[in-house]
């Protein structure tokens, strides 16, 4: 039964216009929600919390992800990374602002993207790449970063946004 559902989903995606970008956008929207809601959910005093001294703080994970958003989405568009304040964001309001700004920038790159664009080579510096390569790596990195942050939230008694959304569906 589960396999039938998967085949149905895959068949539906393959018949949609721009199936590659459509699949990417669905995963991107989930990741975007996870990060924006995590920045909102974590208390201000916990932004500097580290699981161990050698790890990034929770706030640093969000700021680091914002910087990654700007650079990766610029790469998808074949552009240079725009100036941004991701490295400077330290307080909760600054961190919330920069993660939102980074996703707003990515939204502008992704919103009109087509499969043809995703599969058309762009030049980044001296490298030639296809945006779809950046798209796949981007989702993997967003998920890895969020996975790291979940431990921080749980240690601080914060229910991770993905868990909270799943509980609401039950």
What element of type H or E holds 117? helix 115-118
Q: What is the pLDDT of residues 109-160, one digit of tens each?
A: 999 899 999 999 988 778 888 999 989 999 999 999 999 999 999 999 999 9
Please give the Cα distance from 169 to 73 (Å, whole number).
31
Residue 12 domain-assigned (yes or no): no
Residue 49 domain-assigned (yes or no): yes
Residue 136 domain-assigned (yes or no): yes
The 8-class DSSP code of residue 45 comes to G
Full residue range of the structural domain in which residue 148 is found: 28-169
Residue 14 domain-assigned (yes or no): no
CATH number of the structural domain spanning residue 77: 1.20.120.450
Domain count, the chain: 1
Residue 23 domain-assigned (yes or no): no
Q: Do residues 77 and 120 lie in contact, with contact meaning Cβ atoms separated by under 8 Å?
A: no
38 to each of 71, 77, 78, 127, how far by Cα in Å?
21, 27, 29, 34
Residue 142 domain-assigned (yes or no): yes
- How much is the mean pLDDT over the chain? 90
Residue 16 domain-assigned (yes or no): no
Please give the Cα distance from 97 to 62 (Å, whole number).
11
Residue 98 domain-assigned (yes or no): yes
- The pLDDT of residue 78: 86
Q: Do residues 123 and 78 lie in contact, with contact meaning Cβ atoms separated by under 8 Å?
A: yes
Tell the residue number behind the tokens 């008694």, with chain if given.
157
């Amino acid at each position: 039964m589960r396999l039938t559902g998967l085949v149905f989903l895959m068949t539906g995606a393959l018949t949609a216009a721009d199936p590659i970008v459509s699949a990417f956008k669905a995963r991107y929207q989930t990741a975007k929600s996870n990060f924006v809601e995590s920045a909102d959910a974590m208390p201000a005093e916990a932004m500097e919390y580290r699981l161990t001294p050698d790890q990034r703080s929770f706030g640093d994970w969000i700021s680091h992800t914002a910087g990654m958003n700007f650079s990766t989405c610029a790469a998808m568009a074949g552009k240079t990374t725009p100036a941004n304040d991701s490295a400077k964001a330290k307080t909760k309001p600054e961190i919330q602002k920069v993660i939102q700004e980074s996703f707003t920038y990515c939204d502008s790159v992704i919103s009109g993207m087509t499969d043809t664009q995703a599969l058309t080579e762009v030049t980044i510096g001296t490298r030639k790449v296809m945006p779809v390569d950046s798209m796949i790596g981007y989702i993997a990195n967003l998920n890895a970063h969020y996975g790291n942050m979940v431990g921080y939230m749980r240690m601080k008694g914060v229910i991770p946004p993905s868990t909270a959304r799943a509980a609401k569906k039950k």
